[in-house]
A and B are shown apart, each in its own frame.
Chain A
Amino acid sequence: MKRIAILSALALLAGCDNDPAVVFEDAGIILPDDPIDLPEGPGRDAVIENCTACHSPSTMLQQPKVSREKWQSIVGKMKTLYKAPVDDAAVPAIVDYMVHVQSQPEPGV
C-alpha cells in the first residue's frame, strides 16, 4: 500500500511540473443541409439515384466543359476506384445528363 501511495505522489508531482499543455473537450458541429439542386435535363433522375448520395451536385456542375468520353471515364472511375454502386444501366443516362448540362449557358448558380 505504501509503495502505491508514493507512486501516486510522484505522478502528482510530475503533473505539477508538466502543466497540461491543453485540456481536450468534446466537440460537435451540425453541418448545413445539402439540397439536391440539379437543373432539369435528360438523365437527371439517374444522377440523383446514383451520384448524389456520396457528394453534392455542385461537384459535377462546377466542372469545366469536357468531352462525353471524359464523363464516361469519370463515371467509370467512380465505379471501379471509389466503389460507387452505380447501376451499369444508368451510366449512359448519367453521361447524357452531364453533357446536356454542360451544353447549357452557365446558370446563375
Chain B
Amino acid sequence: MNDGRLTRRALIAGAGTAALAAPAVAKLAAMDVIDLGLPGGPSLRHVNPPFPGKGAMIVQRIRPPLLEAPIEAFRKGIITHNGWMFVRWNWPFPTEIKAADHRVAVGGAVKKAVSLTLDDVASAGETVSVVAVNQCAGNGRGLSQPRVTGTQWGNGAMGCAKWTGVRLKDVLAKAGVAEGATRVRFAGLDVPLTDGAPQFIKSIPLDIAMRDDVLVAWGMNDEPLPILHGFPLRIVVPGWFSTYWVKMLATIEVLTGEDDSYYVADSYRMPAQPITPDSKGFPTVPITTMPPRAFITSHADGDTVALGRPLVLEGIAMGGDAALERVDLVGKGWEIPCELGPDEGGPYALRRWTVKLPQVAGDFEQVGVRAKNVNGAVQPAEFVWNPSGYARNVIERITLRAE
C-alpha cells in the first residue's frame, strides 16, 4: 500500500471511529430541505452543511463533495456567482496547497519534459479570458425515466463563469509537442483512497487542445480558483462537458495513440446510437461536446399565474458547443419565439431569454423552452434515454395554473 492510502484494516478502524463518534455529532438539521422533483424519489435534499466559500447549495454528497446549484443561481444575469457554481469530485483532494510548491509536469510525447511552477504557467503566454458554461455530463441524471444509478442531480450541476488563464497550447509549447501526438491527457491532485483504483485522468484530442480558447485557468469570475473548483489551476474546454475540465492540474501528458484509461475508455460514455433500457452490448462513444439546453427560471412547476393578465416568462439558454441561435416557448401544438437577451459572453456562455404573453387564457400544461444552436442542433421533444444519464437535453417542461 502506498503512503496515505487506506488498507482494509485502516478503513475499518476509520469507519469504526466515525461510527462511535456519530451519536455525538449533531444530526443534520431537518430544515432547509429542497425537493428536486426526481420521479419516484428519493427526492429531498439538504442545503446543509455549509461548505467554505459556497452559498446555500443542494448537498448531494458531503464526502467527496457533490454540490448542486439551486434554481435561484440562474434567475439573474448570465454569470453564476462562485458561491453557486456546482461542485463535483470523483476522489478526495488536498484541502491545503502551497503555491510555491505546486508543479505542473508536462511530459509524454514532448520534445523536452518540463516541470513548471505556477509562475512558469502564468507567464507561458498571453493572459486570456473566456466566458463558458461548465456543466457536468450527468446534469439532470436524477430526472431520467427509467431512473438510473449515479449522482442523482437535478438540473443544477452547471454554471457559467468567466475563466482566466493562459492557452493550453502555450503551456504545451514549453515542452514542445512531438511528432505523432494524438491526444493530451490531464491529471490533478485528486487521487483514489484505495490502491489500484483508477485515477481520474481525462484526455482531449490534440486539435481541441490546440484551440485558442482552451485554457489552463487560474481565475474564476476574477477571483482565484477556489479549492473546491480546482485551485490552483484547472483545464477549461469551452463547449465540452466539465469532465474534461480537470481540476488541481498537476500533470499534462501528450499521448501518441488512443487513451485506454478507465475514465475515457470505459466510463463517461454514451451509446453510439439511441438504445432502449433493455439493450445490451451496444457500441459506445465518449461524452464530449454539450448540446443546447434552455430553462425557465422565472417560474417553477406548479406555480400559479394570473388569469386574464399578461405574463412574462424568463430564463436562460445555452448553445452548447456552438452559439445559441434561438429559443422558442413550446406547448401542446403551439410555439412562440422568445426574445434573446444581449450576447454578453460569447458563444459558450449562457444567454437570457424572455417572452411576453398578452393574456393568460387558462392553465399552461407542460410548457417548456427549446434552444437551437447555429449548427442546427435543437433540443428534442422526447427524452432519449441512456444507461448513465448523460447529456440530458430534452425540453424541460413545467405546468402553470391560471387563477
Contact = CB atoms under 8 A, between A and B. Distances in A.
Interface of B is mostly: loop
B218 A83 contact: no
Nearest to A66: B149
Given A35-B22, A65-B40, A82-B192, A108 B96 contact: no
Contacts of A108: 30, 33, 44
Interface residues of A, number: 45
Given A31-B63, A53-B6, A106 B43 contact: yes
A34 interface: yes
Contact of B28 (A37, A53, A66, A70): A37
A58 B50 CA distance: 16
B99 interface: yes
Given A24-B99, A27-B97, A84-B194, A59 B61 contact: yes
Contact of A27 (B119, B197, B224): B224
Contacts of A25: 99, 224
A27 B231 contact: yes
Interface in A41-88: 48-50, 52-56, 58-59, 61-66, 70, 74, 81-85, 87
B148 interface: yes
Contact of B33 (A22, A50, A109): A109
B51 A32 contact: yes
Contact of A33 (B49, B123, B127): B49
A108 B34 CA distance: 11
A106 to B, nearest CB: 5
B127 A21 contact: yes
B41 interface: yes
B15 A53 contact: yes
A52 B19 CA distance: 9
Given A31-B51, A49-B16, A56-B62, A26 B96 contact: yes
Contact of A26 (B60, B98, B228): B98
A27 B148 contact: no
Nearest to A73: B149
B7 interface: yes
A29 interface: yes
A66 B102 CA distance: 43
B197 A48 contact: no
B42 to A, nearest CB: 5
A18 interface: yes
A58 B44 CA distance: 11
Given A29-B95, A109-B28, 12 more contacts: A21-B127, A22-B122, A24-B122, A25-B99, A26-B100, A27-B97, A34-B18, A52-B15, A53-B18, A65-B147, A66-B149, A106-B41
Interface of A: 18, 20-22, 24-37, 48-50, 52-56, 58-59, 61-66, 70, 74, 81-85, 87, 106, 108-109
List the 8 closest pairs (A to B, CB-CB), nearest first: A85-B8, A64-B147, A24-B99, A32-B49, A28-B96, A21-B127, A83-B194, A53-B11
